[in-house]
């Protein structure tokens, strides 16, 4: 098919059943909320090596956050609920608890409840305190700039991962420009993340490898520098 002058090979897009969660990070200002969110979702491009796939969903206006402060919503995906819970707790403890003026809240009310601040409270060494507000439990953990407020749990839901598509162009700059335009449009959609750097992955892979230890390897059929050395799927 051809849409807006662009030829589209309508084959398929990989999609995988996954588990996902969403959390809201707030701080004194957007700068520090974003710093915490970026740290929490770092090294989360692919479950293949990172254990999870995570990224910032969007910036939140203070009117959208539980404590009326600037906030950032993050999403994390994993292949199973146990792995997701571990990644969430580790990243929350190392990247949000440690970040100045931060607070952490559930980003999903439904689904299976998994720990968010429930176990982080032990960092308070017995000085932590609990509050139950409107049926939701929060933990107040003393830290050196005041206190870290964290909701006890957040929701885990069924989700879909994958959805990659290939962009072919006459030059690298043209391909990158097309990808950047696509990412800008995808960022307008709620509850969607693009975890690769800038939302773009240049190292597209195929299943399997000549090396037994690798489950995936470079997609040589679409590598322009290998057109004369492999069975290529690229046009002249």
In angstroms, rounded to a whole number, what is the distance separating the alpha carbons of residues 224 and 202? 12
- Given a contact cutoff of 8 angstroms between Cβ atoms, the answer to whether 186 and 167 are in contact is no
In angstroms, rounded to a whole number, what is the distance separating the alpha carbons of residues 205 and 35? 31
Q: What is the pLDDT of residues 146-197, one digit of tens each?
A: 999 999 999 999 999 988 889 999 999 999 999 999 999 999 999 999 999 9
Average pLDDT, the chain: 95
In this structure, the dihedral spanned by the alpha carbons of residues 165, 171, 174 and 179, taken in order and rounded to 10 degrees, is: 20
Q: How deeply is 3 buried, as exposed, middle or buried, from its count of CB atoms within 10 A (0-12, 13-18, 19+)? A: exposed
* Structural domains of the chain, with CATH: 2-12+165-226 (3.30.70.520), 15-158 (3.30.70.520)
**Pairing status of strand 2-3 against strand 6-7:** antiparallel
The pLDDT value recorded for residue 14 is 80
Report the chain's C-alpha Rg in angstroms.
Answer: 21
The pLDDT value recorded for residue 165 is 87
The pLDDT value recorded for residue 143 is 98
- Output the DSSP codes for the chain: -EETTEE-------EEEEEEEEEEEE-SSHHHHHHHHHHHTSS-S-HHHHSSEEEEEEEE-GGGSTTSS-EEEEEEEESSHHHHHHHHHHHHHHHTTTSTT-EEEES-SSSEEEESSTTGGGGGTT--EEEEETTEEEEEEEETTEEEEEESEEEEEEEEEE-------SSHHHHHHHHHHHHHHHTTSTT----SGGG--S--EEE--SSTT-SEEE-GGG-GGGTTTS------
Give the residue-averaged pLDDT of 114-123: 97
Q: What is the pLDDT of residues 1-48, one digit of tens each?
A: 999 888 888 888 788 999 999 999 999 999 999 999 999 999 999 998
- Per-residue pLDDT band for 144 (boundaries 50, 70, 90) equals very high
Tell me the pTM.
0.92
């Amino acid at each position: 098919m051809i849409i807006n002058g662009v030829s589209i090979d309508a084959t398929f897009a990989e999609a995988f059943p996954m588990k996902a969660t969403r959390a809201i990070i707030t701080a004194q200002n957007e700068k520090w909320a974003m710093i915490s969110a970026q740290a929490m979702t770092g090294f989360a491009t692919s479950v293949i090596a990172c254990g999870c796939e995570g990224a910032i969903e969007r910036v939140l206006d203070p009117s959208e956050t539980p404590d009326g402060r600037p906030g950032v919503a993050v999403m994390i995906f994993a292949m199973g609920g146990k792995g997701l819970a571990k990644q969430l707790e580790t990243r929350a403890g190392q990247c949000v608890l440690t970040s100045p003026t931060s607070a952490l809240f559930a980003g999903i009310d439904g689904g299976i409840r998994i720990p968010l601040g429930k176990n982080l409270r032990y960092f308070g060494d017995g000085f932590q305190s609990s509050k139950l507000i409107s049926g939701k439990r929060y933990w107040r953990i003393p830290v050196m700039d005041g206190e870290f407020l964290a909701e006890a749990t957040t929701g885990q839901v069924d989700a879909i991962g994958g959805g990659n598509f290939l962009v072919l162009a006459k030059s690298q700059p043209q391909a990158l420009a097309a990808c950047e335009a696509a990412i800008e449009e995808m960022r307008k959609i709620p509850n969607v993340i693009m975890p690769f750097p800038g939302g773009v992955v240049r190292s597209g892979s195929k299943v399997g490898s000549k090396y037994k230890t690798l489950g995936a390897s470079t997609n040589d059929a679409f590598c322009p520098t290998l057109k004369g050395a492999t069975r290529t799927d690229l046009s002249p």
